[in-house]
Structure 1
Amino acid sequence: MLAEFDLIRRYLMPSQTPLPADGVALGGGDDAALLVPKAGHQLAVSVDTSVVDVHFPHDAPAFAVGHRSLAVALSDLAAMGADPRWCFMALTLDQRTFANDHAIHAWLEAFAKGFHTLCQRQATTLAGGDVTSGALTIGVTVMGEAPTGHALTRAGATPGDMIAVTGALGGGAGGLALWQRGERDLQHPLLRRYLLPEPRLAAGVALRGLASAAIDISDGLLADLGHLRKASGVGATLDMTSLPLAEALESSLGRDAACNAALSGGDDYELLVTLPAENVASAQRALGKLGLPLTVIGQCSDTLGVKGIAPNLGTGWQHFNEGAP
């Protein structure tokens, strides 16, 4: 069996050297990390928990579990228009579920590679964390920065603002459906969308000063639009014909199921934003430079509720709800 601190040193925090260039005055190995935010910036902090067989399948590849646990947390920073800086990980691992020590080491190596690869690509420093024994759970706290007064929030939408989404929708739910059917080809676009989501961090930064409100789509378009509408005190009218569907979604699930996945499936980690009509073209040009489309799918109104959708569609994922998928 691998001891706690050996696990941390070998796979999670191989270097205990402080990294002042990364804003880390004191890194992992002490009781707490000491971080140095940039002057003139606000700190954006979020925590996300991934639980086996709730957020990812128990037989998902370890690399994907590592990548995904960080990606879904970073997505919250993207919705705030924050530049990522640091993260902390709390890993709960049940060694008894592995056949032998070799299997544990192989899983940890692949898990750590998935996590650290995304850290490097998104300029995020793992500054500390904790390891304990129990059912496989990964808690990730992320910290980012935005210039003071320029962070995006859920509360800025006003009637008349356009509603738009980055990328395409339904891929997360579509990928989960394929995995449950036995599909294991990780090159399939829907499986990649589900197991290896990409946080839209650069898009969030590009939308600062253009979007009036933003949220990431984790629980489903309708559910997350509901959070934004409540915070902003607006209603919405959606155009179902404008929904951008993920690649291969309709051919894999059929039209009706594809639309339901796009509206209520969750796990897309695209950005849902509102913005004044006069800002739409500028926002589309800014995201176009990133190779990412921004599609207008509706408009905010002063009448609470959502118009333009069938009443029998689901509302998205909710924990502790017996009707949740």
Structure 2
Amino acid sequence: MAGPDSEFDLIRRYFDAPAAARVSGAGVRLGVGDDAALLALREGHELVASVDTLVEGTHFFPDHPAASVGHKALASNLSDLAAMGAEPSGALLSLTLPRVDHAWLAAFSQGFLALASAADVPLVGGDTTRGPLAVSVTVLGQVPAGQALRRAGARPGDRLVVTGALGGAAFGLEQETRRRAAGTGAANADAPACERLFWPNARLEVGRMLRNRARAVIDVSDGLLADLGHLCAASGCGARIDWPVVPLDPLLAQAPPAEARAAALGGGEDYELLFALPADESLDLLAFGVDAPLTVIGEFTETAGIVVVDAAGQPLDVARAGHDHFAGAEANKPEAMPTGQGTDVEARD
């Protein structure tokens, strides 16, 4: 018989919601508790799937607040669905634990399930095992057939648009790095300076509204320059960024100009949407019931490559930053990352 801290007991205690809640998601026929989940696709829709893994020491600090780890593990995946214009249908959670820590598990599950409830994403299954702390989440979504947003499709002359503001997560990471170096106590999940790092949110509603409007879309998870590079490569064109109009997170007002620019251009994990919008498409999403700040920060060009220009149109000398899991692995660890590099080093190609 399984003991009180068995795999199945942990699932029941922290992740097995009441039966009514488990199957509340649209299309969920069978959720947690069986060999696999059963989900039904709506007529005329396609399945969208994405998976990400967060590893302690690579994607989050050892003293990273557990509730935030749960929230972030789901939010990063939901951002991928947003970039595809998909509506979430369900999530699968695989949790690898070095030991049973009930306080950590309670906080982690609270953070994960609170976001799942807010985004109407039922947890429909998963796995637990023993080993170095790691969290892997798979999200499943649906999108009307033929309407999924993709990275390919931008054309020269299209406007380059971003939601929200950039650099907040990188600023928070810098504050956390300095705190740990100074040994000034544990991470504070409620610290305003770390809100974007600890509690990111996906632009799901914006993604849905961009169907049949945006030509190409990506979420800013690896950094503005890196992710724009993915869009350009997939679309076969280049891009110009007008630096003076790039929306900066208000937190960057505290940073020196060079650090602010590095955070906004190279910092990851802001989870905003970056997209190509034809010149004849309106920027006003309010007409669609979405109150989201949008900023035109440049345009796509025929000339290959990405150039960042100042107010006079002159190119700026900027370092190309981004995340690669296997390029300089030691430097990618949270303990070693400089300003402008977030903890999300997943290559999302």
Amino acid aligned to 1:261: A
1:46 matches 2:50:
yes
For residues 317 and 162 of structure 2, the distance between their equivalents in structure 1, rounded to whole angstroms, comes to 22
Cα contact 1:172–1:265 (8 A) shared by 2:
yes
How many residues were matched structurally?
Answer: 315
Q: Tell me by how many angstroms 1:317 deviates.
A: 1.2
1:321 corresponding residue in structure 2: 327
1:268 corresponding residue in structure 2: 270
Bigger Cα displacement from structure 2, 7-16 vs 65-74? 7-16
1 or 2, which has the higher helix percentage? 1
**Are the structure 2 counterparts of residues 21 and 60 from structure 1 closer, same or farther at C-alpha, using a change threshold of 3 Å?**
closer
1:69 matches 2:69:
no
2:132 corresponding residue in structure 1: 135
Q: Tell me by how many angstroms 1:90 deviates.
A: 0.4
1:78 corresponding residue in structure 2: 82
- How big is each residue's C-alpha offset from its partner over 1:273-293, in whole Å with a ceiling of 9 and x where there is no partner? 11101214334x458x53320
2:177 corresponding residue in structure 1: 180
Bigger Cα displacement from structure 2, 124-133 vs 184-193? 184-193
- 1:223 aligned residue (203, 214, 226): 226
Cα contact 1:85–1:143 (8 A) shared by 2:
yes
- How big is each residue's C-alpha offset from its partner over 1:95-138, in whole Å with a ceiling of 9 and x where there is no partner? 1xxxxx6xx11111111010000001001010000000111100
For residues 245 and 40 of structure 2, the distance between their equivalents in structure 1, rounded to whole angstroms, comes to 44
**Are the structure 2 counterparts of residues 231 and 40 from structure 1 closer, same or farther at C-alpha, using a change threshold of 3 Å?**
same
Task: Give the alignment's Cα RMSD to 1 decimal.
Answer: 1.8
1:156 matches 2:148:
no
Cα contact 2:96–2:135 (8 A) shared by 1:
yes
- 1:92 aligned residue (74, 93, 96): 96
For residues 88 and 320 of structure 2, the distance between their equivalents in structure 1, rounded to whole angstroms, comes to 33
1:194 corresponding residue in structure 2: 197
SS in 1 for 2:29: strand
Cα contact 1:190–1:246 (8 A) shared by 2:
no
1:58 corresponding residue in structure 2: 62
Amino acid aligned to 1:225: L
Q: Tell me by how many angstroms 1:212 deviates.
A: 0.8
1:235 corresponding residue in structure 2: 238
For residues 141 and 6 of structure 2, the distance between their equivalents in structure 1, rounded to whole angstroms, comes to 31
Cα contact 1:190–1:249 (8 A) shared by 2:
no
SS in 2 for 1:60: coil
Q: Extract unaligned runs of 5+ from structure 1.
A: 96-100
Amino acid aligned to 1:112: S
1:256 corresponding residue in structure 2: 258
SS in 2 for 1:108: helix
Q: Extract unaligned runs of 5+ from structure 2.
A: 310-315, 338-349
Q: TM-score if structure 1 supplies the norm length?
A: 0.92
1:98 corresponding residue in structure 2: none
Q: Tell me by how many angstroms 1:8 deviates.
A: 0.8
Cα contact 1:27–1:127 (8 A) shared by 2:
yes
For residues 114 and 175 of structure 2, the distance between their equivalents in structure 1, rounded to whole angstroms, comes to 26
Amino acid aligned to 1:299: E
Q: Tell me by how many angstroms 1:186 deviates.
A: 3.7
Amino acid aligned to 1:29: G
Structure 1 runs (4+) greater than 4 angstroms displaced:
none
Amino acid aligned to 2:23: L
SS in 1 for 2:148: coil
Q: Tell me by how many angstroms 1:48 deviates.
A: 0.6
For residues 25 and 141 of structure 2, the distance between their equivalents in structure 1, rounded to whole angstroms, comes to 15
Cα contact 1:9–1:15 (8 A) shared by 2:
no
Q: Tell me by how many angstroms 1:185 deviates.
A: 4.4
Cα contact 2:28–2:89 (8 A) shared by 1:
no
